[in-house]
Amino acid sequence: MTETPEAVVRTQVTVPLRFGDGYTTSARVFTFDGLVDGKEHLALGLGDWRRAVARSAVGGRAPLVRPHSECLTGDVFGSQRCDCGPQLREAVERITEAGGLLLYLRQEGRGIGLYAKLDAYALQDAGLDTYEANVALGHGEDERDYTAAAQMLLALGAERIRLLSNNPDKAEQLIAAGVKVEEQIPTGVHVSAANVRYLATKASHTAHTIDLPLAE
């Protein structure tokens, strides 16, 4: 385990949230100074997150946490090519009920950026899978680094978490950065005709915990 540089909270403000299906909640939104990548990541405290973090600090049940990578096409425009938007909506409700944190991480396209992600979509339309397309563009299969996510959690006192994610790499990176992952909890499977190949590839290639009956 490497030593993770310290980050500190710079601003916090309450923001009421409303989703397209009418679901509403309120988030305590945090910004930070000292994040290693210099990006404007956010932490959203949902539900009784303070009590969840305090309970965890004295050995109780750890707060529910989802590190969610920004996806403009899915989160904002409702793209069916991925499952990001539905995962975000699911995570906000589940974390609100349990008490915990959603980390909104500015690493579009598994870290390659928005334009490159759309270039990768064009290559996928020509037959490559989601990982092959990134590599064909000269990028890594997944360039995301969760050190900043760990910094945010540690700055908020969340040293132990229950991780809401299908991605084993998130758990491995957070653990390496000093966050104890007590449990990894999968999200639901949000499948559509447009994303079934994408989800099947994540399950087969990077061991995402996705139970996809349609996958060959």
Q: What is residue 181's three-state secondary structure?
A: strand
Considering the candidates 81, 144, 160, 162, report the single residue annotated as catalytic: 144
State the pairing for strand pair 160-164/100-105: unpaired
The tokens of 52 are what? Answer: 């969840």
Task: Mark whether 144 is an active-site residue.
Answer: yes
Instruction: Give residue 216's pLDDT.
Output: 40
Q: Residue 110's pLDDT is what? A: 93
Beta strand 8-18 with 24-33 is antiparallel
Helix, coil or strand: residue 110: helix
Stated pTM of the model = 0.88
Tell me how far apart the terminal alpha carbons of the chain are, to the nearest angstrom.
Answer: 37
Question: Does the CA dihedral 196-197-202-208 come out positive or negative?
Answer: positive
- Please give the pLDDT value at position 25: 98
Q: What is the pLDDT of residue 189?
A: 74
Q: Which of 142, 160, 169, 211 is catalytic?
A: 142
pLDDT at 214: 46
Two tokens, residue 180: 């104890």
pLDDT value at residue 198: 57
Predicted pLDDT of residue 200: 61
152 burial type by CB count under 10 A (0-12 exposed, 13-18 middle, 19+ buried): buried
Query: How many whole angstroms separate alpha carbon 145 and alpha carbon 137?
Result: 19
Q: Can you give the pLDDT at residue 209?
A: 57
Q: Is 160 a catalytic residue?
A: no
pLDDT tens, residue order, the chain (216 aa): 568 999 999 999 999 999 999 999 999 999 999 999 999 999 999 999 999 999 999 999 999 999 999 999 999 999 999 989 999 999 999 999 999 999 999 999 999 999 999 999 999 999 998 889 999 999 999 999 999 999 999 999 999 999 999 899 999 999 999 999 999 999 987 666 655 555 566 556 554 554 655 444
